[in-house]
Amino acid sequence: MDPDDQSLLEALLSGEHRALARVISKIENRSPGYRDLVSELYAHTGNADVIGITGSPGAGKSTLVDKLAESYRERGDTVGIIAIDPSSPFTGGAVLGDRIRMASTVGDMDVFVRSMSARGTLGGLSTATADAVKAMDAFGKDKIIIETVGAGQNEIDIVRTADTVAVLVPPGSGDDIQTLKAGILEIADIFVVNKADRDGADRTVQELREMVHLGEESGLAGGSGGHHGADAMDSGGDDWGETADEGGDDEDESWSPPIVETVATKGTGVETFIDELSNHRTYLVDSGTHAERTRQRYAEEIRTLLREDVHALLEDELAERGGVDDLAEAVRRGETDPYSIASAVLAPVEACVENLETESGGDGSSPT
Lowest pLDDT segment from 8-17, 172-181, 352-361:
172-181
CB 94, CB 116: distance < 8 Å: yes
Residue-wise pLDDT tens digits, 309-349: 888 888 888 888 888 999 999 999 999 999 999 998 888 87
Nearest alpha carbon to residue 292 among 219, 237, 223, 224: 237
CA distances to 32, 101, 273 from 104, rounded to whole Å, are 36, 9, 18
**CA 328 – CA 341 distance, rounded (Å):** 9
Say if strands 79-85 and 259-261 run parallel, antiparallel, or are unpaired.
Answer: unpaired
Lowest pLDDT segment from 40-44, 100-104, 134-138:
100-104
CB 287, CB 201: distance < 8 Å: no
Residue 294 scores a pLDDT above 80: yes
Query: What totals of helices (H) and strands (E) does the chain contain, helices first?
Result: 12, 7
Residue 344 CB coordination number (10 Å): 13
More confident residue, 82 or 99: 82
CB 50, CB 165: distance < 8 Å: no
Q: Is 146 exposed, middle or buried (0-12, 13-18, 19+ CB in 10 A)?
A: buried
Q: What is the pLDDT of residue 95?
A: 45
Chain Cα centroid distance, residue 284: 17
**CA 319 – CA 324 distance, rounded (Å):** 7
Nearest alpha carbon to residue 6 among 28, 27, 33: 33
Most confidently modeled range among 102-106, 283-287, 301-305: 283-287
The residues, any chain, with a CB within 8 Å of residue 241's CB and separated by 6 or more, are 215, 216, 218, 219, 220, 221, 223, 224, 229, 254
Q: What is the pLDDT of residue 338?
A: 94
More confident residue, 16 or 204: 16
Structural domain 46-300, CATH architecture: 3-Layer(aba) Sandwich (3.40)
Nearest alpha carbon to residue 188 among 269, 258, 120, 235: 258
Most confidently modeled range among 145-149, 188-192, 309-313: 188-192
Q: What is the DSSP letter of 258?
A: P
Residue-wise pLDDT tens digits, 165-181: 999 988 876 555 665 55
CA atoms within 13 A on the CB side of 110: 13
Residue-wise pLDDT tens digits, 237-281: 333 233 333 333 444 468 999 999 999 999 999 999 999 999 999
* The residue type at 305: L
**CA 283 – CA 126 distance, rounded (Å):** 28
The residues, any chain, with a CB within 8 Å of residue 259's CB and separated by 6 or more, are 190, 191, 192, 193, 205, 208, 209, 212
The residues, any chain, with a CB within 8 Å of residue 264's CB and separated by 6 or more, are 60, 63, 64, 66, 67, 194, 195, 270
Nearest alpha carbon to residue 193 among 182, 209, 180, 179: 209
Domain assignments of the chain as residue spans, ordered by start? 46-300, 310-359
Percent of the chain with pLDDT over 70: 73
What kind and span of H or E run contains 282? helix 270-287
3-state secondary structure of 79: strand
